[in-house]
Amino acid sequence: MRTITYAKAISEGLAQAMRRDPRIYIAGEDVGIVGGTFLATQGLLAEFGPERVRDTPITETAIAGHAVGAAAAGMRPCIEIMWMDFMGVCMDEILNQAAKMHYMFGGQIELNLVIRVPEGAGFRAAAQHSQSLEAFFTHIPGLKVAFPSTPYDAKGLLMSSLCNRNPIIFIEHFQLYGWKGEVPEEEYLVPFGKAAIRREGTDITLVSWGWMVHKALAAANQLAQEGISTEVIDLRTLKPWDQETVISSVRKTKRLVIVHEAVRMNGFGAEIAATVGEEAFDSLDAPIKRVTAPDTPIPFSPVLEDAFLPNELTIAEAMRSLL
């Protein structure tokens, strides 16, 4: 199978979906002429033209607001908000409109709406361009949340999102756009709510998503040299999330470590920990551990930002503490 980047997998998935369904169009800042800040929409303007690949003004409120209206009228917009941090600018459109219209109109309106949004730290972009806010959106009834960690899942989950009947927050970590992996040329779907077991193990269950999956795998490889067997689970989607796979793994390994780049307080890891505590407490031989960023704004200083982020060393240390 051929190998392509995460960004190329996204642009390919968009192109194939747009060829199949004329209702799908793209809108956002620099998605057309530039091809996206991280080149995830590169080449689409040349094929589909400015009617279906629309460069917008710098106004997240208008980008999200027009998309909600277009989706309610039967179109299938796929918009890009350039930075996760700027989702706060259009939260009314997402929180009070997109997420609630289907419910408030008694099912008469379906919002086939995808909001693509990059997030994450590590680019020295400081406190207003580096936040991981996925937990915000899992807390809103009516939304689905995807967070692929590989090029294969990026294309498959995006194609699933574009034919879904719900508003979807599709999160892409900045660090992954250049990541390469095997991706089929043909169309395919990756289902929501089905985790991937990236590595099988018997001693500890390690759960993560997005960029941190790769840090988790690096930590698992490190501990394997010490004779510790780690099962690494990539959730792939956070809403819905695959409780069955996680709980089954915990019942086998008896230990759970959750890793996410978002700050600790009320991060999505707390939801996983609470669910496992409710459903599989009797299986645990040690407390559940979370490896997260601290509850501070993200520093600009390279040394401080590196210390802020979880890495394979801090993940491995947390796992050793449970044994």
Q: What separation in angstroms does the CA of 104 have from each of 97, 141, 142, 146?
A: 9, 12, 11, 24
Token code pair at residue 82: 């350039």
What are φ and ψ of residue 309, in 5° steps?
A: -85, 140
Helix (H) and strand (E) counts in the chain: 12, 14
- Number of other CB atoms surrounding residue 165 within 10 Å: 9
Helix (H, G, I), strand (E, B) or coil at 104: helix
129 is catalytic: yes
- Choosing from 66, 129, 173, 214, the catalytic residue is 129
Q: What angle do CA 29, 35, 36 make, to 5 degrees?
A: 45
Q: Are 269 and 258 in contact (CB under 8 A)?
A: yes
How far apart are the C-alpha atoms of 234 and 243, rounded to whole Å?
Answer: 12
Q: What separation in angstroms does the CA of 40 have from each of 92, 116, 130, 172, 209?
A: 26, 10, 18, 10, 20
Question: What are the catalytic residues?
Answer: 129
